[in-house]
A = this chain, B = another copy of it.
Amino acid sequence: MSAPEKFSVTPQTRVRRSPARASYERAPAHAILDEALVASVGFVRDGQPFVIPMAVARDGERLLLHAASSSRVGAVLRAGARICVTVTLLDGVVFARSAMHHSLNYRSVVIMGAATELTTAEEKLSALARLVDHVLPGRAGQCRPPDAVELKATSVFALAIEEASVKCRQGGPLDDKEDLALPYWAGVVPLVQRALPPVADAAHPPRVAMPDGLAAYTRGRGAEGP
């Protein structure tokens, strides 16, 4: 049975500011998560919020995270604490005629919940392969898989992509009508993430050629435009 197209909105996931920019649909949430390489993971310890960057990957309706088994974030996730995972893709700088309406174009997803630890070797290997394939499809089959020691040292977690919301701003400046005639330029500078040509390991030159897909590595919108 496939998941419904929309997330259920909760008091916590409901977007309060600029609700017209919010959405609770799976398709855009998945697209943003699939483009991103890094998420900001928020958790609480002794009342203090912590936000740390982590690599994530979507696996269907769940988000995969991994951490050193002995790490602070590993302990927090293992304990079943509520977390918040936020992904932000920056798409542009918006210049308006008024200071007030300067803005950024972006696409973001916020996911809340408690993660579940994956405990069997089979589940963990499969999730770690997904994390590697997220970076470059097929790569998990083009490197040495984790051995027993590495697997033990790494904790893997899954967070259901259910308590989630999407918020995006796109398009040009939205100036007040009475400002339109002011002698200031208004528009958008689009921003994209671009890959530069791959750099082979200089300390230990690889014995094989670069894998397909790496020379033209792109993520999402970085593929478009000049």
Contact = CB atoms under 8 A, between A and B. Distances in A.
Interface in A188-225: 188-204, 206-211, 214, 217, 225
A225 B206 contact: no
Interface stretch (A1-9, A19-27, A92-100): A92-100
A37 B146 contact: no
Interface string A80-95: 0011111010100101
A179 B12 CA distance: 46
B185 A110 contact: no
Q: Interface residues of A: mostly helix, strand, loop or mixed?
A: mixed
How many monomers of this protein are in the complex?
Answer: 2
A47 interface: yes
Contacts of A139: 95, 102
A154 interface: yes
Q: How large is the interface on A (under 10, 10 to 19, 20 to 34, 35 or more residues)?
A: 35 or more
A142 B42 CA distance: 37
Contact of A187 (B100, B198, B226): B198
Nearest to A48: B82
Nearest to A175: B204
A135 B102 CA distance: 9
Contacts of A200: 185-187
A128 interface: yes
Contacts of A183: 207-208
Given A144-B179, A180-B204, A185-B200, A52 B110 contact: yes
Interface string A130-167: 00100110011011111000100010000000000000
A198 to B, nearest CB: 5
B42 A51 contact: yes
A34 to B, nearest CB: 15
> What 9 A-B pairs come out closest when comparing CB atoms?
A40-B40, A42-B51, A42-B49, A51-B86, A190-B196, A187-B200, A53-B88, A186-B201, A42-B42
Given A175-B201, A185-B200, 16 more contacts: A16-B72, A37-B93, A37-B191, A44-B49, A48-B82, A95-B143, A172-B199, A185-B206, A185-B211, A186-B201, A186-B206, A188-B199, A189-B198, A190-B195, A190-B196, A193-B193
